[in-house]
Amino acid sequence: GAGVSQTPSNKVTEKGKYVELRCDPISGHTALYWYRQSLGQGPEFLIYFQGTGAADDSGLPNDRFFAVRPEGSVSTLKIQRTERGDSAVYLCASSSRQGDTGELFFGEGSRLTVL
């Protein structure tokens, strides 16, 4: 497709379970970002990839969160031992080059609910 695609759009899981959220960026975009948006809040930065490597993972809240982008395209955000506080909308964004326009292209998000 033409835009950033995220799956699943909705995920309900139980506390303690493992979850994977997938992001398919715009073709050719080398930069990929994950943000988390809690209810009533703006998006908060989690991690940034330039190509295959995580250039900045300073926003990951703890070691239960991990993200990969093995071939420099699709990325997966992985959450282990989920907690109720992890419930949020997880947003993925991509851009063609770092730093020159500030325009990130966002997907519609994956809404995670931890019961």
Partner 1 sequence: GDSVTQMEGPVTLSEEAFLTINCTYTATGYPSLFWYVQYPGEGLQLLLKATKADDKGSNKGFEATYRKETTSFHLEKGSVQVSDSAVYFCALYSGGSNYKLTFGKGTLLTVNP
Binding site for partner 1 (CB under 8 A): 3-4, 31, 33, 40-45, 48, 50, 55-56, 59, 91, 93, 95, 98-99, 101-109
- 104 CB burial (10 A radius; 0-12, 13-18, 19+): middle
Closest CA to 94 of 45, 50, 41: 50
**Min. distance of Cβ 82 from partner 1 in angstroms?**
24
Smaller CB separation from partner 1, 67 or 93: 93
Give dist(CA 96, CA 113) in Å, integer. Answer: 31
Give me the least distance between CB of 37 and partner 1, in Å please.
Answer: 8
